[in-house]
Amino acid sequence: MRPLRSLTSIVVLLLSSALSPSSSAELPELQEKEWFGCFAGFKNSEVRFTVSTTGELTLEPVYEDGNPRSYIRMPVSWGIEVTMPNGRKGLQTVIPGSLESEDEPTDELERLTLRGKFEGGAEAQLIIEQKRGTISIGGRITHNGTYLPENIQFQVSARVLNFYGHNEIKLKDDPKAFEALIIEDLTELKWTNGKRQRLNSVEPRDMASEEVNGPGIAEVEVSIKAIDRQFLFEATGDSMITMSNRQGAALHQGMLVNWAPLSGKDPKSTARLAISVE
């Protein structure tokens, strides 16, 4: 009878595993082929926005044929920015298997809330809203875990990619011809005090500098001729944007648009990073 008892134990363990939540569980997936790998999404004549089953956010411009281009996209990360003892900062992204939502999968996203856990036992809530194609993202830290409150903040980072990689290689021996391709590209900033700046994409810049960020940024507009589109960012409510990029790089090589609510000034989590495409 000992072998029978062992078999019974195995069956019980298998059933328990099937019925209990998996530590590597993901959010449920939309069944339509167009939304493969997505928990939620939205698409109109200007933009396609997706939330993957592992909590990754992606924005893609839509073109005249009604479709995005696979190589033209903007990844958007969210999580907890941690300040280290040496002063350096880094963004911790959510542990995928910890994601939860009370919302159902949808391809007509209007409002969505996700909750997730991070290293160090911290927890955060992400809120996404969509209205007439504008994607608004916000959130808050709901549990500090092992971190001191002053060393962490909720953050969203939109990555503007390098859409000129192929041209850089093709025209590496003709810098003037390459410059002619990017000369019309502009990044326009509006500081929280109303001051405006226009930055070209030719000169190397330190986008994390005080010279660029000032007291904080309220609006950013990035115009890229190579993709015939503009990305618009606005910090709403009690929040602001800061910029960063790879040290010594020109703007055509990519940049980060980083957003965070102002510390202690957004208790109801109403501040947002609003993103649109024109």
Across 22-26, 201-205, 224-228, least confident range: 22-26
Answer yes or no: is pLDDT of 125 > 60: yes
State the pLDDT confidence band at 25, using cuts at 50, 70 and 90: low
Count Cα neighbours of 123 within 13 Å in the Cβ-side half-sphere: 9
Geometric angle at alpha carbon 275, from 229 and 112, rounded to 5° = 135
State the pLDDT confidence band at 17, using cuts at 50, 70 and 90: very low
State the pLDDT confidence band at 239, using cuts at 50, 70 and 90: very high
How does pLDDT run across 137-173, given as a tens digit for each residue?
A: 999 999 999 999 999 999 999 999 999 988 889 998 9
Which position has the higher pLDDT, 144 or 14?
A: 144
Q: What is the DSSP-derived secondary structure letter of residue 45? A: S
Instruction: Tell me the β-bridge partners of 116.
Output: 124
| Dist. CA 176–CA 159, nearest whole Å | 27
- The CATH code of domain 33-277 reads 2.70.98
What average pLDDT does the segment 101-119 reach?
Answer: 97
Q: What is the DSSP-derived secondary structure letter of residue 95? A: -
| Dist. CA 50–CA 254, nearest whole Å | 21
Query: Are the beta carbons of 171 and 177 closer than 8 angstroms?
Result: yes
| Dist. CA 33–CA 198, nearest whole Å | 42
Geometric angle at alpha carbon 62, from 59 and 63, rounded to 5° = 150
SS3 176: helix
Q: What is the structure's pLDDT at 22?
A: 37
Instruction: Enumerate residues 6+ apart whose C-beta is below 8 A from 133.
Output: 42, 44, 46, 47, 276, 277
SS3 170: helix
